[in-house]
Amino acid sequence: MGAHGPAKGLMRWVTTTNHKDIGTMYLWFSFAMFILGGAFAMIIRAELFQPGLQIVEPEFFNQMTTMHGLVMVFGAIMPSFVGLANWMIPMMIGAPDMALPRMNNLSFWILPPTFALLASTLFMEGGAPNFGWTFYAPLSTTYAPDTVTFFIFGVHLMGASSIMGSINIIATVVNMRAPGMTYMKMPMFVWTWLITAFLLVAVMPVLAGAVTMMLMDVHFGTSFFSAAGGGDPVLFQHIFWFFGHPEVYIIILPAFGVVSQIIPTFSRKPLFGYDSMVYATASIAFLSFIVWAHHMYTVGMPIAGELFFMYATMLIAVPTGVKVFNWITTMWKGAMTFETPMLFCIGFVFLFTVGGFTGVMLSLAPADFQYHDSYFVVAHFHYVMVAGAVFSMSAAVYYWLPKWCGKMYDETMGKAHFWISFIGFNLTFFPQHFLGLAGMPRRIPDYALQFTDFNTMSSIGAFIYGASQILFLFNVIRTIVAGKPTSEEKTWDGAEGLEWTVPTPAPYHTFTTPPDVK
């Protein structure tokens, strides 16, 4: 096979259509955004370290909470999993590349200018968007800073990028599987991404619709979200959450996929209940479309609506429970070892389940009348987003990094990263449950005195968690620059799957002739 290497220089990255190059760029971009969004979080926690205003003004605090949410959701977590999909899906299904390589390049290169645009609003007159990442109207329309127009444009662009990325994944999985790779033989990561891609294609246009209506309200005199002109501010919330709830599963389903790859490897035992995992993932995806208004229990819905959304939301616990039980049964009677990826996965199962418990509590509408918009909710979604998505992403990086670059990361440093993250994370977010139950609302720059101690603890935890990510960055760079070279095809003795049959490091082109799948 004639070696056909990458082009040289900067243009390699600008013009590349190679799934590994694009995957790498996605991963680095998302890490940069993770650091940026994390910096915003540090400002938030520094201000909340003590009651009173010490560091920032309320106006800027609101910009920080908004930008933190937007950057983390759209800039860090989503692109990181797209990067992982780019790298791994072709290698897992025995395809030479993604089905639509030029679109792949475009969908990545839309992102850096989009987030540069979004971040630049911080330096504009009137300041960055300050209406929360959920941007409820009319705070985000009639009462918004002028930069809302940049925000709308940015959301359109990142939506377009996501839709292209997901069309590409669907086209790849449906058309480019190696002979013999039937749907029910696909690795779980591929399955979860296939389902996620359909969710994205379904809901990103809804988000685009919502921001377009905002644009019309702001600039063209319509009143979609203004009661004074015959519109309805609550309509915005329905549209937003019709996108927003599937969105949180878009974030978590690929994480489920990662964990379902890694736990069997280090348990040296096949994934338990593969078929039920596929069905559970599909059920979660379906349910995500009929539960959106559980974010809006206090908005004044009729009781029939409250009951429907409460019952539907409770149902999500069933397929999610099936997944957790399957992971644990996979570990059961295995021969486990605890390298860094496995530690992050066990941390994931433990903390994600805690987030699942608070999810069940929040699903109960009457109790939600107390929890809603309090720090209890903040604690809940960080347990599922950070300990869910971010932990699984860390696991994925450690797991596949040797395959990507042919070098081994430092295990001690990796384990230190896990334990510091684990402690920092829990110190940050566990006390926030207490704060919420005691009555502290979310998104406030200053708080009553009885909330002081837990806020101080939470801030200290956040600084620890933040610092541990610098260790992560250092470990990854150190591995690439000076890690111990490895050329074993199977980095991990228990690993299964096509990606472990190609040489290490993975050559620029893999599976130019399809493999045999038994």
Partner 1 sequence: MHLQAKRLLKLTLSPVLLLLGLLSTGAWAEEAQRWQVNMAPGVTEVGAQIYDLHMTVFWICVAIGVVVFGVMFYSVFTHRKSLGVKPADFHESTTVEIAWTIVPFIILIVMAFPATRTLLEIYDFEDTELDILVTGYQWKWKYEYIDENGENISFFSNLRTAKSEIYNEDNKGEYYLLDVDEPVVIPVNTKVRFLVTANDVIHAWWVPALAVKKDAIPGFINEAWTKALKTGVYRGQCAELCGRDHGYMPVVVNVVEQEEYDAWLAGKKAQAAEIKALMDKQFTLDEQMAAGKPIYDQYCAACHGLNGEGGVGSAIAGSPVATGTVAGHLDIGVNGVPGTAMQAFGAQLNDVDMAAVITYQRNAFGNNMGDTVQPIDVYNFKQGQ
Catalytic residue at 492?
Answer: no
Q: Which of 65, 66, 162, 353 is labelled catalytic?
A: 162
* Cis ω before 6 (30° cut-off from 0): no
SS3 138: coil
Record the tokens describing residue 184, joined without a space: 């029910």
Q: Which of 121, 260, 340, 353 is labelled catalytic?
A: 260
Question: Nearest distance from residue 464's CB to partner 1, in Å?
Answer: 14
Nearer to partner 1, 25 or 263 (CB): 263
Question: Nearest distance from residue 154's CB to partner 1, in Å?
Answer: 20
- Distance, in Å, from the CA atom of 379 to the CA atom of 429, rounded to the nearest integer, reads 5
Q: From the CB of residue 34, how many other CB atoms can be counted at a distance below 10 Å?
A: 22
Question: Nearest distance from residue 353's CB to partner 1, in Å?
Answer: 7
Which of left, alpha, beta for 3 (phi over 0: left; psi -120 to 50: alpha)? Answer: beta
Catalytic residue at 161?
Answer: yes
DSSP 8-state code for residue 444: -
Nearer to partner 1, 17 or 50 (CB): 50
Q: Which of 47, 247, 306, 368 is labelled catalytic?
A: 247
Question: Nearest distance from residue 94's CB to partner 1, in Å?
Answer: 22
Catalytic residue at 238?
Answer: no
Catalytic residue at 80?
Answer: no
Catalytic residue at 394?
Answer: no
Q: Which of 294, 382, 407, 509 is labelled catalytic?
A: 294
Q: Which of 19, 20, 68, 269 is labelled catalytic?
A: 68
Nearer to partner 1, 232 or 410 (CB): 232
Nearer to partner 1, 23 or 187 (CB): 187
Question: Nearest distance from residue 57's CB to partner 1, in Å?
Answer: 8
Catalytic residue at 162?
Answer: yes
- Distance, in Å, from the CA atom of 266 to the CA atom of 283, rounded to the nearest integer, reads 27
Whether 126 and 63 have beta carbons less than 8 Å apart is answered as no
Whether 503 and 91 have beta carbons less than 8 Å apart is answered as no
Catalytic residue at 323?
Answer: yes
Nearer to partner 1, 120 or 450 (CB): 450
- Distance, in Å, from the CA atom of 462 to the CA atom of 20, rounded to the nearest integer, reads 33
Catalytic residue at 156?
Answer: no
Catalytic residue at 223?
Answer: no
Catalytic residue at 442?
Answer: yes
Contacts 24+ apart (CB under 8 A), 510-516: 510/90, 510/91, 510/96, 511/90, 511/91, 511/94, 511/95, 511/96, 511/178, 512/1, 512/96, 514/94, 514/95, 514/178, 514/179, 515/94, 515/178, 516/178, 516/179, 516/180
Q: Which of 249, 399, 400, 447 is labelled catalytic?
A: 249
Nearer to partner 1, 157 or 361 (CB): 361
The phi and psi torsions of 374 (rounded to 5 degrees) equal -105, 175
Catalytically active residues, by annotation: 68, 97, 133, 161-162, 245, 247, 249, 260, 294-295, 320, 323, 442
